[in-house]
Structure 1
Amino acid sequence: MKAIGFRTSLPVEAADSFIEFETEKPSPKGRDLLVKISAVSVNPVDFKIRQNSAKDTVLTEPKIIGWDAVGVVEAVGDAASLFKVGDEVYYAGDINRAGSNAEYQLVDERIVGNKPKKLTKEEAAAIPLTALTAWEILFDRLRIGERDKGKSVLIIGGAGGVGSIAIQLAKHVAGLTVIATASRPETASWCKTQGADYVVNHYKLVDEVRQAGFQYVDFILDFVDTNTYWDAMVELIKPQGHIGSITGSATPLALNKLKAKSVSFSWELMYTRSTFQTDDMIEQHHILNKVADLLDRGVLKTTLKETLKGLSVTNFKEAHQQLESGKTIGKLVVSF
């Protein structure tokens, strides 16, 4: 089968930052599905792994990355029961296995959902990783529920892939009042179209949230940089509130700053369930199916912004260059 990968970590503009190669089509066992892929989307995790997973080395076998896909089930393992051959599926995969930038991929059925019926393959490919991340941080980590309707949430990084779908879930599913951050007219407009009630500039975060009428906010979601916005989050979070972040921390966080307000803090990593084969790993199957239903009913909408056509080195170089710029809005998809 044809695949796009790399043997060593290089700047994206380098000639061999990506290579096209042929490799054996895998066979499913156990609960795996063999999926013939038709579209993928590109996420920041893709370029971060490309930049860091093969530094100062040349891999014997090229590494295939990519963690978002839409395709058709071509074969199933002997223990698989959730899907059958011919089913259209979408998923974000497992960071410890070969990725989706190829014609075929093996994926555990417990982290796969039925593709939304009313969306094109490109529209659907934009959804899985970001929707899983946003759903988990809202409903599994912060445990937002019916009792929280009408409360406020500040989403730092509203126009990005995760931010875009998090705005929709927070507004249209959780029933929260959404304050999103953006710093350019086009990103502010995008946040509004996703459902944000207020848009503030993250370079003037505390002042602009206060000017919007909020002394404190009930929840904060950080999708940009925990360290950069830590003091602002500490200032803005309501006593007994909850902060969640997906971005990691380059230096230790001063969690003691949350003590006086009795504030909770949670990390979210979408790959936790698949990496540790948690007892509730199948929850990602259920989440993706819930999201597909919400998309088909029009409660949520795709965050697709741009599509590149063709499984090629050129397209993945272009996609990674765009994401590395930090200026992308919504999601970028490569369709085969």
Structure 2
Amino acid sequence: MKAVGYRQSLPIDDPASLEDLSLPEPTPGARDLLVRVKAISVNPVDTKVRKGARPGAADAKVLGWDAAGTVEAVGAAVQGFKPGDRVYYAGSITRPGTNSELHVVDERIAALAPKRLDDAQAAALPLTTITAYELLFDRLRVPKNGGAGQTLLIVGGAGGVGSILIQLARQLTQLRIIATASRAETRAWCLALGAHAVIDHSKPLAGELKAAGIGEVDMVASLTQTGQHYAQIVESLKPQGQLAVIDDMAVFDAMPLKGKAISLHWESMFTRSKFETPDVARQGELLAEVAALVDAGRIRTTANESFGTINAANLRRAHALIESGKAQGKVVLQGF
């Protein structure tokens, strides 16, 4: 089967950083779906793994976690799906990635794809949707239809996670949503997705909030450049506020949170599948819930750019855009 992967960690402008491959077809395990991949999207984790995880000398590592496709076969213990079903999901970080014609995924972390979206539009959603949903409801523990009178600041509102977090918070809670964006087009994007206001993260956040008449906030979802904004985030949070973080930092000092008794929450959507937690099926359930919201017209896809077919050259372009920090919404690729 066709696939795209890498054999050594290289800068993305090196043609060998991602290569077209021919690999054996995978075999589904008892609880697995064998999926013919129709479309994928690219996330920052793809670039981080490519730069930091070196395959063995004779091996090639296939990246990619988001996928939309059609079930070709099911394992002996699968109960919720059948061949021909159209599914979408974000796979496990412990298994080969979705940048391949055929892929196996645990049925518990997959769901039927939204009917009103095409494959590329659906593939944009899973990883960021799971991240945003878990951050909002499992980490910050905002009740469904709750949060009245409270304010959520989303740092990096126009990125992949921010683009779906704005929508989930607007549709499923009563929070006031303040997003950050630094360009006219990303500001407009955040407002169109449902943010009540947008401030500029290229300027001090506390000052921007005060200038907007908002003042301190109850919760911050810091989705990018947390280290750069950390002091301003602490200043912007109310006493006993909450900070949820997803990005990686070489060093993180939690002591500045102590004075205000700010609680810190880490979100990693790979945790449930990596450790096969007792509630691992919750990821498939929440994707099904979001698919219903999409089909009801309440949530829109975050796909914003299509880079063509799934091949090494196009994936190198996508990785380069992600690494630039200028991606708006999600980048998708479709077909082999």
Relative to the length of structure 1, the TM-score reads: 0.97
> Is the partner of 2:17 in helix, strand or coil?
coil
Matched, 1:116 2:117: no
Give the drift of 1:62: 0.9
> C-alpha distance in 1, partners of 2:294/2:17?
35
Query: 3-state DSSP class of the match of 1:38?
Result: strand
Match of 2:51 in 1: 51
C-alpha displacement of 1:72: 0.5
Contact 2:146 2:173 in 1 (8 A): no
Letter in 2 for 1:89: V
Task: Report deviation, 1:307.
Answer: 1.0
Moved more, 140-149 or 293-302: 140-149
Deviation at 1:238, TM superposition (A): 1.4
Q: Deviations over 1:203-243 (max 9, x none)?
A: 22110111111221111000012221111111111122211
Please list, as runs of the form range in 1=range in 2, the aligned pairs for 1:119-134 lying within 5 A after superposition.
119-134=117-132
State the Cα deviation string for residues 26-72 of structure 1 (Å, max 9, x = none).
Answer: 11121111000000000011011111111xx7631211000100001
Rounded Cα–Cα distance in structure 2 between residues aligned with 1:181 and 1:216: 15
Question: Is 1:40 paired with 2:40?
Answer: yes
CA–CA distance in structure 1, aligned partners of residues 306 and 202 of structure 2: 30
Note if 1:294 corresponds to 2:279: no
Tell me the equivalent position of 2:243: 243
Aligned partner of 1:330 in structure 2 is: 329
- One-letter code of the match for 1:201? D
Match of 1:113, SS state, is: strand
State the Cα deviation string for residues 95-144 of structure 1 (Å, max 9, x = none). Answer: 11000000000100111011001111111011000000000000000000
Write out aligned runs for 1:113-192 (5 A): 113-145=111-143, 146-192=145-191
* Cα separation, partners in 2 of 1:279 and 1:329, compared to 1, 3 Å: same
Instruction: Check conservation: 2:130, 2:283, Cα contact below 8 A.
Output: yes
Aligned to 1:87: 85
Q: Following the alignment from structure 1 to structure 2, what is the Cα–Cα distance between the partners of residues 39 and 46?
A: 15
For 1:245 and 1:299, locate their aligned partners in 2 and report how far apart those are by CA, in whole Å: 26
Residue in 2 that maps onto 1:12: 12
- The answer as to 2:210 corresponding to 1:213 is no
Could you tell me whether the CA contact under 8 Å between 1:227 and 1:250 is conserved in 2? no
SS at the partner of 1:167? helix
| Cα displacement (A) at 1:325 | 1.0
CA RMSD across the alignment:
1.2
| Counterpart-to-counterpart distance in 2, 1:32 and 1:171 | 34
Please tell me the residue identity of whatever aligns with 2:201. Answer: H
Q: How far 1:252 sits from its partner (Å)?
A: 2.6
**Which amino acid is the alignment partner of residue 167 of structure 1?**
I
> How far off is 1:308 after superposition?
2.1
Is contact 1:294–1:300 with CA below 8 Å preserved after alignment?
A: yes
Matched length = 333
Equivalent residue, structure 2, for 1:27? 27
Q: Which runs of 4+ in 1 moved over 2 A?
A: 255-262
Code of the residue aligned with 2:109 in structure 1: it is I
CA distance in 2, matches of 1:314, 1:33: 28
SS in 2 for 1:202: coil
Indicate conservation of the 8 Å contact 1:41/1:334, yes or no: yes
Percent identity reads 46
Letter in 2 for 1:313: A
Letter of the structure 2 residue corresponding to residue 68 of structure 1: D
1-structure distance, mates of 2:309, 2:248: 33
Aligned to 1:69: 67
Alignment of 1:255-274 (within 5 A): 255-274=254-273
Match of 1:164, SS state, is: helix
Which amino acid is 1:85 matched to? P
Equivalent residue number for residue 305 of structure 2 = 306
